[in-house]
Chain A
């Protein structure tokens, strides 16, 4: 017993504080992400995007070797995220921070980025204010306002006069509700009812019935994904919502590959807004989807493309600075940078450092034997409307 204990203690000490060699001519990227817990799949897809880009473009850029240090927050934990960011910088001497699926974690690490003057790339978290928290942040995903405001504008322009909105009752849901309604009302539409349900709501029948009774032209639904699209689909079918008469609108999470599978044929006709879908029709995307499938045996999604484009941004910025990895040089290089992404043309707004991209309106259709999102309308060069308004 004693030997076991002593052995264990020795093992802990040995693994605990063995230092890592600090090689020169490397650029270290500290990735703070959700690799375990409830959001692990999101984290995995972002990581796949990063891995694929590095595989395609090599792990050396501008004469520097790229080294990734992955850190897991395990879920919503801003205190852990902030500590990991601090440790990555003071202990591992990371030059760049990247990753970030969740807004609270991104906001916490943003403080560190500002204080330590380190370039930080947000690859998913979508609340508008994140990029304002540090002058060294750039984002390669999308913002909730960017997508939902655009959907609201589109709806008002396309014959929808009244909408009933229903959203999950927490930050992102409320954010989406606000911006959809803003876009819709500015276009002349009328919101005739709205409801917020708990985040972990298992059954949507009552809410869908209430929406149906209000006889709107369209029902807007925002849910975080996971098991919920299936439940929404069930409620829509049960309550007899005919999507040819009452349109159903939502953000990308309502139309992901897994969401469509769980909803089945009820999903046909649902209209969603997104910045990326694996069915996007462009040669570059076909190539990307094929390479992604060869590597990971699944389709990429908006998480994966956020990681892929984020890594590209880091690579291109490093090329432009000639390998200089300090925050000031990198963010200066990143500002205004634009390129062709699998999702279409994107760029980094030189003023807000947020992404400017095409926003797509899609409808779920039966293509071959599969439910797919078919893009039928698009808005090019959409900036984040939230920050455009903050400035005024």
Chain B
């Protein structure tokens, strides 16, 4: 990358990063293939898209700002319950439901960000874990509101734009989830390739030094944490709306842990890491559990160990390294 030392070098740098590459365009076009080639798999595809969005939201804080979280499902759940409750009490319009969910999750994210921004590393794992558990127990005890263990009953999502009904085959569910994923991906991409995104990476590398060059670490962390929470909330709302079911597992520890696995599998700190991770993990899960409903976790384990041993930086990290070697030789 030969940067001229001219006046607008930073501008050129950001421009070079934001340009859409051919691989990316092919990737997004390929996400449309299931409609034509695999119409029986659209429901799975829609849940992959939702998980991908959720993983992208975690990537923003974990991969870019270095905030390790084991409680990200809390925001997923808050968003899901916000949209679910709204729908249960008479407003099932999906788009406004998403907005409400993002606001609810964003508020919770903003409130907790004041604590989050004061700690790093292991302390963060404990904090986010504890926060997630608290919220889960809160939702359990508020059974009159959340439906408790049995789950929230009575969610009914209206037709999308008043026209498209969420069908048994998942055409609308996938189109809807994919569109939301794409829009938020473009937003995240823009964010990461902005000066703000660059300063986040600086914070990840050295939290203490960044304020010295004029980037307030804590304020930046609060901002990205809130954005990430809102995005996770939207993912949760998508799941609640497209499946019309919701229970406490949506904000449980297992969902947070699985998400972390997905992101590490795909490659943290890469925009497409969460997307690729969600795809590989969920397709593998679907296949393995179909063949071997009792012991499929064994094969998931094999997959994870293999990927981490051969590609320590995740699938995308490995591919990038491979591509680099290729271009050199």
**A86/B296 in contact, CB under 8 A:** no
**Proximity string of chain B (157-192) to chain A, C-beta cutoff 8 Å, 1 when within and 0 when not:** 000000000001110000000000000000000000
The answer to the question of B13 belonging to the interface, with a C-beta cut-off of 8 Å to chain A, is no
**B293/A72 in contact, CB under 8 A:** yes
Of the candidates B47, B284, B293, the one whose C-beta lies within 8 Å of that of A35 is B293
Contact of A87 with B151 at beta-carbon distance under 8 Å, contacts A12-B284, A72-B296, A79-B243 already known:
no
- A22 neighbours in B (Cβ, 8 Å): none
The answer to the question of B153 belonging to the interface, with a C-beta cut-off of 8 Å to chain A, is yes
The answer to the question of A89 belonging to the interface, with a C-beta cut-off of 8 Å to chain B, is yes
Closest CB of chain B to A15's CB: distance in Å? Answer: 6
Closest CB of chain B to A91's CB: distance in Å? Answer: 4
**B310/A1 in contact, CB under 8 A:** yes
Determine which residue in B137, B293, B294 has the highest number of CB atoms from chain A within 10 A of its CB, and name it: B293
- B200 neighbours in A (Cβ, 8 Å): none
Q: In the assembly, what is the distance between CA of A22 and CA of B169, in Å?
A: 19
**Proximity string of chain A (50-85) to chain B, C-beta cutoff 8 Å, 1 when within and 0 when not:** 000000000000000000001110111111011100
Q: In the assembly, what is the distance between CA of A74 and CA of B258, in Å?
A: 13
DSSP class of B's interface residues: helix, strand, loop or mixed? helix
Stretch from B59-67, B121-129, B217-225, B247-255 at the A interface: B247-255
The answer to the question of A90 belonging to the interface, with a C-beta cut-off of 8 Å to chain B, is yes
| Chain A residue with Cβ nearest B285 | A74
- B287 neighbours in A (Cβ, 8 Å): 12, 15-16
Of the candidates B148, B248, B295, the one whose C-beta lies within 8 Å of that of A174 is B148
Closest CB of chain A to B304's CB: distance in Å? Answer: 14
Contact of A36 with B249 at beta-carbon distance under 8 Å, contacts A108-B151, A112-B168 already known:
no
Looking at chain B, what size class is its interface with the partner chain? Answer: 35 or more
The answer to the question of B93 belonging to the interface, with a C-beta cut-off of 8 Å to chain A, is no
Q: In the assembly, what is the distance between CA of A299 and CA of B299, in Å?
A: 30
**A78/B246 in contact, CB under 8 A:** yes
**Proximity string of chain A (87-115) to chain B, C-beta cutoff 8 Å, 1 when within and 0 when not:** 10111000000000001100110011001
**B150/A83 in contact, CB under 8 A:** no
Of the candidates A17, A72, A198, the one whose C-beta lies within 8 Å of that of B289 is A72
The answer to the question of B119 belonging to the interface, with a C-beta cut-off of 8 Å to chain A, is no
Pairs across A and B, CB under 8 Å, 7 listed = A12-B284, A36-B296, A78-B246, A78-B247, A87-B40, A171-B150, A199-B140
Chain A positions near chain B (C-beta within 8 angstroms): 1-2, 4-5, 12, 15-17, 33, 35-36, 40, 44, 70-72, 74-79, 81-83, 86-87, 89-91, 103-104, 107-108, 111-112, 115-116, 127, 129, 169-172, 174, 198-199
